[in-house]
Amino acid sequence: MKKRPGIPSFILFFSLFFLILSPRVIASAYGAETADEIQKDGDFEFMEEEFGHAPISVADPFKPFNRAMFQFNDKLYFWALKPAARGYSAVVPLFARKGIKNFFYNVRAPIRIAGSLLQFKGEKAMAEYSRFLINTTMGVLGFRNAVKNYPHLNPGEEDSGQTLAHYGIGNGFYLVLPFLGPSSLRDAVGLFGDSAYLDPTAYIKPTEAYYGTRALDTVNGTSLRLGDYETLKKSALDPYEAFRDAYIQYRNNQIQH
């Protein structure tokens, strides 16, 4: 990949908002509408469904590093991302924030389509493709989820990490990535492929527009789920281990479907 030119400090600052908890950590799994009517892309969904389940076995050879990164991401959330999301939600109406969330979920359809095709899930790929076409047209570029009442056109998540698992590649070991949050060796490789090649926003130029777009996506998504992270963290005896086990269980469940 071509090396991006240097960026102003304020752009770098806001880019951290995108990086901190990205698709696997903060709020997008997901008003006059209910939360289920917001396009889901994985944020706290795994924590809500799997939090508190029995511990999951996963190699964690870099636990000291992972714990340090967990604390780093935690502080960055409270000191930077949360204040930004609060200010953003104060000036941007809820309906607009929901529409922006839907738009970003729709534009990343190539990740889900490619993941489905590479796993020979043709029916799922066709459903995702149909969903993309309908939401892009009838849903006004994806700002509205025009197919929310049609379960067969809401097939669920697929990504490169799941594709690697389909071909027998295990978790490897657990990782907490700085800015990115919970992952595994396999999922980190898959996330790089998705983010660098399959995500259409990766090709936005110039650099300032690219980072601005990513910052908007993250701050907007977080504004819709303020308080969720705090609640989940508070309910755990050991937040690090609880988030780790919930993440691995969530990914295992995704792979089985």
Tell me what pLDDT residue 215 has.
95
Tell me what pLDDT residue 149 has.
94
Tell me what pLDDT residue 10 has.
41
Tell me what pLDDT residue 53 has.
59
d(CA 72, CA 90): 26
Q: What is the mean pLDDT of each run of 10 residues along the chain (257 residues)?
A: 44 40 36 42 55 73 98 97 98 98 98 98 97 98 96 94 98 95 97 97 96 96 95 94 94 91
Tell me what pLDDT residue 50 has.
54
Tell me what pLDDT residue 192 has.
97
Cα→Cα distances 165→25, 159, 193, 252, Å: 20, 10, 14, 9
Tell me what pLDDT residue 227 has.
93
Angle (nearest 5°) at CA 180 between 102 and 35:
30
Tell me what pLDDT residue 43 has.
56
Q: 3-state secondary structure string, 156-210?
A: CCCCHHHHHHHCCCCCCCEEEECCCEEEEHHHHHHHHHHHHHHCHHHHCCCHHHH
pTM of the model: 0.81
**What is the DSSP code (8-state) at residue 35?**
G
How many Cα atoms occupy the beta-carbon half-sphere of 211 within 13 Å?
A: 16
